[in-house]
Chain A
Amino acid sequence: DAGVIQSPRHEVTEMGQEVTLRCKPISGHNSLFWYRQTMMRGLELLIYFNNNVPIDDSGMPEDRFSAKMPNASFSTLKIQPSEPRDSAVYFCASSLAHGQPQHFGDGTRLSIL
């Protein structure tokens, strides 16, 4: 039973480059979430989608961040241009429905040099 799949697992890139993180939610799950985890700020919700529609993007730090969900089985989080302060672990999670537990991927560890 495949869980949430994220790619890449690790990304190291230079400041100013575009970064694209990918997520495949669990099949049949209607909600998808993007989080960022750092030592300083803990786990922060960036954006979430219901049925492929963005519902709340109030956690997106600034215009450099964008997220899309073109279909029920794929989502991307893009940072352009990237900055060193974007270094963090980014998690994608999905849930079956309203109010149900969330299933997390193993994250993408992003380092911006």
Chain B
Amino acid sequence: SQQGEEDPQALSIQEGENATMNCSYKTSINNLQWYRQNSGRGLVHLILIRSNEREKHSGRLRVTLDTSKKSSSLLITASRAADTASYFCATDEGAAGNKLTFGGGTRVLVKP
């Protein structure tokens, strides 16, 4: 079963605009990770945020985590056509801390 559920399922924006997607989960987590998947390729890790962190930045990416609401958001600023991809959140929740549960993803289309 899926732990993380992304919202929206799909997003279409113009180049230069910001894109925001959200992830909700059900159980306690060790960390939450965001991945990108381009068409026909494997997933690429973007950013990891630990359960004791509230916000993290990496380049044009900003991730927030609210453990009280069991939710996270990914913001892509000044989007580019190359950001067109599917974005997945994944939660690391087990005692072993090595098993990720992925959400269904948000498909982002950035129009030039």
How far in angstroms is the closest Cβ of chain A from B9?
11
Chain B residues, Cβ within 8 Å of A95: 98
Q: Give the docked Cα–Cα distance between A95 and B2 (Å).
A: 21
Query: Interface residue count for B (Cβ, 8 Å)?
Result: 23
Whether A102 lies near B96 (C-beta < 8 A) is: no
Whether A107 lies near B96 (C-beta < 8 A) is: no
One of A12-20, A48-56, A64-72, A76-84 at the interface = A48-56
Which residues of chain A from 63 to 113 have a CB within 8 Å of any chain B CB? 91, 93, 95, 98-99, 101-107
Query: Interface residue count for A (Cβ, 8 Å)?
Result: 22
Chain A residues, Cβ within 8 Å of B97: 98-99
Contacts A91-B43, A106-B41; A31 near B98 (Cβ below 8 A):
yes
